[in-house]
Amino acid sequence: MANGIPTQGVGSLFTLIKRLEAATSRLEDIAIAQTTAVGTTMAGENSAAAGQSSSPDAPTETPPSLKAYDELLVGTLKRYLALSAEVGGSAQEQAKHVDAAFAAQRSFLLVTSSCQNPSSTEVFMDLLKSTSEPLNRVVEIKDASRSDKRLFNGLTAVAEGISALGWVAVESKPGPMVAEAKDSAQFWVNRVLKDCKET
């Protein structure tokens, strides 16, 4: 651990971003497949469902896209949170908001996996609010820690990488946006690694 930032934590963040990028790509593929499937089965479902109501509290299986997302939460994210707790201070505080952002996005994905696109931008923004608030706090913690030479580059790497969670607001394919966030975070990760080598 140099400068108070465990190099495993930086690697975990980079791995998390790469896995998020892969999950985003899988979600895109699933969304395309679901759109195609909905178009071909809609007529059959409408005629079969006529006169039948579905129970709102019937248990539903977790969508495959969320299962992939959950793998991120129990693997790489959990390790990042543990390492951030070891560092403490701003890193630990920022990590709490990263965790909240991923949890909020999971809830968002669960809701949207069973819904159509909202007709109102206001409804969509309300759904995103629970994700955007912790994202803003991650950036605020980074900004408030500019004078902390020991942690600033690591906090910035996290703040740049977490912007990848904004992929859900991208109307076209979000892959390029996630890649840009990953590249920006990687720049700061490289600075952390350089600082660690110099000490």
Report pLDDT digits (tens) over 46-75.
Answer: 333 444 433 344 346 788 888 888 888 888
Q: What is the DSSP letter of 5?
A: B
User: How many domains are contained in the chain?
Assistant: 1
Does 47 map to a domain? no
Token pair recorded at residue 123:
């409804």
**Six-digit token pair at 62?**
């977790």
What pLDDT is stored for residue 168 in this prediction? 86
Contact yes or no for 178/164 (Cβ under 8 A): yes
Residue 181 included in any domain:
yes
Asked whether residue 184 is domain-assigned, the answer is yes
Q: Could you tell me if residue 88 is inside a domain?
A: yes
Domain of 110 in residue numbering reads as 7-33+62-115+134-198
Please report the pLDDT score of residue 4 as a whole number.
55
The per-residue pLDDT for 8 is 62
| Any domain includes 39 | no
- Quick count: other Cβ atoms within 10 Å of Cβ 101? 21
103 in a domain, yes or no?
yes
**CATH value at residue 160:** 1.25.40.330
E strands of 63-176, at which residues? Answer: none
Going from the first residue of the chain to its last (199 residues), give the mean pLDDT of each consecutive group of 10, the final group possibly shorter: 57 70 67 48 38 43 84 89 95 96 91 75 81 94 94 96 90 91 96 86
